Amino acid sequence: MPLFIENTNIVRAYVRWGKQHGWNSPLFSDTEKELSYRSCYRAAWALGKIIAARHSHGERIGVLLPSSVGATIVFYAALFYRLTPVMLNPVVGSRNFQSACRTAVISTVYTSKKFLDNLLTAEALTQAAQDAGATVVCLEDLRPQINTKIKIGAVLASLFPALSVTRLPGAVSSENEAAAILFTSGSEGAPKGVSLSHGNLLANVAQVLCRLPGAAGLRMLNCMPVFHSFGLLAGVVLPAAGGMFARQYPTPLHYRQIPKIVKKHRAEIFFSANTFLLRYADEVGSADLQSLRYVFAGAEKLQDATRTLWAEKFNISILEGYGVTETAPVIAVNAPETNRPGSVGKPLDGIVVRLEQVAGVAKGGRLHIKGPNVMLGYFHADKPGVLQPPPDGWHDTGDIVELDDDGYLYIKGRMRRFIKIAGEMVPLDVIGETLKAHWLDFDFSVTSLQDTRRGEEPVLLTTMPEANRQNIAAVIQDAGLPSLWQPRRVFVVENIPLQPTGKPDYLAIQQLAAECDKKSLCASRK
C-alpha cells in the first residue's frame, strides 16, 4: 500500500476501500447493528443529507457520541457533505465542554437520547453547549426526516458508489482540509483543539498499515472512545482502509464484559491502554482471549508487569506504540517481527525526528517531529476559530525520549513530568513505575508540590494503605534510584484520577495532592 496518496480525501478513499475489500463485506457492528461498506455508505449518505440541510459547507459540527455504529455513521456523513466533525469528550466537565464548543465555533452538537439518558452529566453538558451558542440535536429526532425520496436516493447511491460519490460535496475536499477536530486530554492544562486534515488521517493509516501489513483484513474490537485520536483512527478510519470488521463498544471500563466480546466476536486485533489491559487479564482465564493475534497498547506507558502477565497467561506479546493527538495520532509502533519490549518501536515511515537537548538530561532530548501526519494546527480558547499552524511544520511533543542505535524510540517522560532538584532533572513517572513494579496490586502516581527549601519536591499518591515514607524509600533505594528522588510526602487515596482512555489525569492528580497537603484530606504517611 502506498505510504501516502496525494490529492485525495477520506470521501473518495472510502469508495476505493469499498471496491478493494468488497462492498458487501462487514465493516462495523455494535450491540444493535451491523454495517457493510455498502450499508455504511447508504446510511451516511442519507443522514448526511438531513444534517447538511442545516449547515453550510465547511461548517464545524459537534459529535457527542460513544464508540458505536452511530458515531461512525455521523463521522462519515459529515465528511460526505463537507462538514467538519468535532469529537467532543463527555467527561471533561461542563466548563471545558463549553470551552470546546466555543473554541471550535460549533453551532450544533449531535448526540443521541439513549446516550444522554445514560450520562449523569447530560443536563450540565446540554446547558454548557447552549451557553456556548450551540443547539443540541438528538439523532432520533432526525430519523423521521429521512423520507422515502431520501431512502431511495441512498439505495441508488450505494448501488453505484463510484458514480454517486462524485456528486457528494465532500468529494472535492482538499487533502489539506480539516477532517476532524479533537481536543487534547487536558491532563496537564486547558484542552486545545487539534485540527487534523484528510491528508493527516490518510497518511497515518497508510503509515500504520505499512508497518503492520499482517493486520489488514482481520476482525477488530474497539472500545477506545472516538473523541480520542487513538479511538478515532484505530476504530473508525483504519478498519475501512484495512478491510477490518470492527466491533464498536462504548466504554473500556467494563472489565468483565469486554473479554467476553473478544471471545464472541472472535476479535483478532485489540487496541487498549495499560490500565485496562491489566484489569482485563485479571478477569479472565488463559483460554478466553485465544482469538487475539495483535494487541496494541498506547495512550500511556506499558508496564513490565502488564507485558509479563499477558505473555505468561495468554502467550500474547503486547505491541507498544506511541502517539499524540497532534499526529493523528501514531508516531511509532512495534511490529510483531521486530518487537523490542520497553521501546515504542521505530518512528513510522515519512516521519522526521529531531531531539532538542534538555539541560539536566544526559541521554536523549525533547522530541520534535515532522511528517504528513502532523496536524494542521491548534485552536486556542482565547482565539476561537483561529488556527495556529505548527512552526515550519514541526510539532514539539513535549516528551523526553531516547533513540537507540537501531532507531527504536524510548519514552522517558513528559517534559512537564520532570522536576529539577539541586540542578538534577527528576523523572516523576519513573518513580511511580518503580513502585508499581514492586506492588502490583496498588496504584501509584507521583506529582510535585512547591517546597520552601528546594523549590519543588516529588509527592506520592497511592492506593496502598500501608504506604509510608520508609517502605517507599526502601523500594526506591533497592531499585538503585537516587535518594533525591524519594517522595517526601506520601498520601493514601481511594483512587488515582484517570482520563477516560486510562491515561493519568495529571492536572486532577496535582490538585488532589494539593488538597491532601493543605486540608489533610488523605492519610499522610511519614
Q: What is the CATH number of the domain that holds 364?
A: 3.40.50.12780
Does residue 365 share a domain with residue 492? no
Does residue 481 share a domain with residue 448? yes
Judge whether 486 lies within some domain: yes
Judge whether 491 lies within some domain: yes
Q: What is the structure's pLDDT at 95?
A: 86
**How many of the other CB atoms lie within 10 Å of CB of 264?**
11
Q: What is the CATH number of the domain that holds 459?
A: 3.30.300.30
Instruction: For residues 263 and 265, give the distance between their C-alpha atoms in angstroms, rounded to a whole number.
Output: 6
Q: Coil, strand, or helix at residue 65?
A: coil
Judge whether 5 lies within some domain: no
What is the residue range of 274's domain?
Answer: 10-403
DSSP characters over 454-485: TEEEEEEEES-TT--HHHHHHHHHHTT--GGG
Q: What is the structure's pLDDT at 392?
A: 95
Q: What is the structure's pLDDT at 3?
A: 43
Q: What is the structure's pLDDT at 321?
A: 95
Does residue 273 share a domain with residue 146? yes
Judge whether 410 lies within some domain: no
Instruction: For residues 315 and 253, give the distance between their C-alpha atoms in angstroms, rounded to a whole number.
Output: 23
Judge whether 84 lies within some domain: yes
- Provide the domain count of the chain: 2
Q: For residue 233, report the phi and psi dihedrals to the nearest 5 degrees.
A: -70, -50
Q: 322 has which bridge partners?
A: 332
Does residue 441 share a domain with residue 385? no
Q: What is the structure's pLDDT at 286?
A: 77
Let me know: does 57 contact 18? Beta carbons within 8 Å.
no
- Cβ contacts of 428-434, under 8 Å, gap ≥ 24: 428/458, 429/301, 430/481, 430/485, 431/458, 431/460, 431/476, 431/481, 431/485, 431/487, 432/460, 433/301, 433/303, 434/475, 434/476, 434/479, 434/481
Judge whether 414 lies within some domain: no
Does residue 125 share a domain with residue 19? yes
Does residue 248 share a domain with residue 145? yes
Judge whether 219 lies within some domain: yes
Does residue 398 share a domain with residue 427? no
Q: Which cell is 3 given?
A: 505510504
Does residue 453 share a domain with residue 356? no
Q: Could you state, in chain order, the average pLDDT of each consecutive group of 10 residues for the chain (526 residues)?
A: 63 96 96 95 98 94 96 98 96 87 96 92 92 95 95 97 96 96 73 94 95 91 92 95 95 91 94 89 85 90 89 94 94 94 95 88 88 96 93 91 93 67 65 82 82 69 87 81 77 82 72 77 52
Does residue 234 share a domain with residue 96? yes
Q: What is the structure's pLDDT at 194?
A: 97
Judge whether 4 lies within some domain: no
Q: Estimate the crossing angle of helix 274-283 against helix 304-314, to 10 degrees.
A: 40
Does residue 116 share a domain with residue 53? yes
Does residue 180 share a domain with residue 34? yes
